[in-house]
Amino acid sequence: MRGCGIRAGIMKSERPSARLLDMSRLLSRAGRVLTGVDRVERAYLDTLIASNVPAFGLIRTPLGFLLLDESGMQKLATKIDGDVSWGPASRLAKVFSKLPPELQRALTDARKLAVARCTRRGLGQMLKRHLPDRTAYFNTGHSNLTDYVTMGVKALRGGKIIVFVHDTIPLDLPHFQRDGSVERFKLFLGRVSAKADLVIYNSRATQTAAELQLAKIGRVPQGMVAHLGVDMAEPDKTALPKGLPFEEPYFLCVGTIEPRKNHLLLIDVWEQMEKQVPPQDMPQLLICGQRGWKNDECFFRLENSRLKGRFIHELSGLSDGAISALLDEAAGVVFPSLAEGYGLPVLEAVARGVPVICTELPVYKELLGDIPVYASVNDSYLWVRRVLSLAESRRTGQRPKKEAFTPPTWDAHFNLVLSET
């Protein structure tokens, strides 16, 4: 694996007195399965608490902001992980009736754990009262990088703003985005251009794409590349639905069912295969992920395909342990994505020695080189051929030799990031 890259001389002479992690996105996910971006914020939470520099958490709420110390951050993490249940929602939280009940409960607990609270306009004063000068603010979730926040951090003498940019997909594929998300991302990137002291990227591919967009806006802040760590969850067959894993060869596609993931190609491939091979030679396809947005055609195809329940199966809400158990016995994984910021499920599969068929995206080439089998989204014939070949290898016990691959680690990521911030 190629190493992480960095532009020299970023912030080494300005060591922070404290680090402030924006936890707004993480709290907003209360009661839901964490996405890849959420997992990054979660990793930062653990690492900043464990470092020898004081850590604080910032959360935006409908009423303003909450500030947590390390103890509050740790207690909130146990609830986000599901180790401790959320408490009952307060009457104040219930005023915001449009919020999901789980989020009402999460906001109630966060308010109880906070060492300080303020309105939006009072953020600067709250930070001045509770944080030292030279505090480094980390925004890792593409959210809450507002004018209130940037002005509040900059009100601290020597305050630094460090932003993690995961991808530029809203601008690269705007027609696949939820209503309003393109405009919100443009505002986010505009503030990155104007206010960020340092931008962290998960890959050189992301850095190249983002800096092209930032150059169109104006200023391009200094940037560094730090590959994300690959978490290897322990397999847990007890968490699998009844009947899984299949005895016959099967393939996984892991991720939200959204347009850029291109599940339609997989449905086409499996329907083509079903016309070409006898039923006993047909592999199974397990689509593991929540349903997303703007994907009505895909949802219609999933619900009405003649292969539904026979050879194509839609699974949601699986735990990491369940996914790992399925990966360990899979004939392969299939990822026909049109765009990815990083593609953690692909790296996890390769790390486990599972054969991968995927599109030739720059981030895959950067991180995995020639390990996967690359196939164009315009060549369904090649997808059919590769899938059937791997299925036959699995059936005969001749799984392809595991490629030598050392996955990126969180230790390497944070050794790099925290040495510079």
* Cis amide prior to 372 (ω within 30 degrees): no
CA distance from start to end of the chain: 24
The one-letter code for the residue type at 269 is: V
Instruction: Report the pLDDT value the prediction gives residue 397, as an integer from 0 to 100.
Output: 86
Average pLDDT value for residue range 385-395: 95
Q: What is the mean pLDDT of residues 360-386?
A: 96
| Total residue count of the chain as it appears in this document | 421
Question: Please, which pLDDT band fits residue 35 given cuts at 50, 70 and 90?
Answer: confident
Contact 311, 285 (CB under 8 A): yes
Closest CA to 361 of 331, 340, 377: 340
pLDDT at 12: 53
At 31, the pLDDT band (50, 70, 90 cuts) reads confident
342 vs 33, higher pLDDT: 342
Q: Domain 18-226 is in which class?
A: alpha beta
The CATH 3.40.50.2000 domain(s) of the chain lie at 237-395
Q: How confident is the model at residue 349 (pLDDT cuts 50, 70, 90)?
A: very high
Of 43 and 399, the structure prediction assigns the larger pLDDT to 43
The single-letter code of the amino acid at 59 is I
Residue 415 pLDDT > 80, yes or no?
A: yes
Residue 6 has pLDDT above 90, yes or no: no
Instruction: Give the pair of three-digit tokens for residue 393.
Output: 């290898």
pLDDT band of 404, cuts 50, 70, 90: confident
> pTM to 2 decimals?
0.92
Q: What is the tens place of the pLDDT at every residue in 102-143?
A: 999 999 999 999 999 999 999 999 999 999 999 999 999 999
Among 46-50, 337-341, 404-408, the minimum mean pLDDT is found in 404-408
Phi/psi of residue 133, nearest 5 degrees: -60, 160
Q: What is the pLDDT of residues 223-281, one digit of tens each?
A: 999 999 998 899 999 999 999 999 999 999 999 999 999 999 999 999 999 999 999 99
Measured between alpha carbons, how far is residue 307 from residues 38, 63, 243, 295, 310 in Å?
Answer: 33, 49, 17, 19, 5
pLDDT of residue 232: 86
Task: Convert the pLDDT of each residue in 305-314 to its tens digit.
Answer: 999 999 999 9
Question: Are the C-beta atoms of 388 and 283 separated by less than 8 Å?
Answer: yes
Contact of 173 with 338, CB cutoff 8 Å:
yes
Which residue in this structure is represented by tokens 């740790």?
74
CATH class in words for 237-395: alpha beta
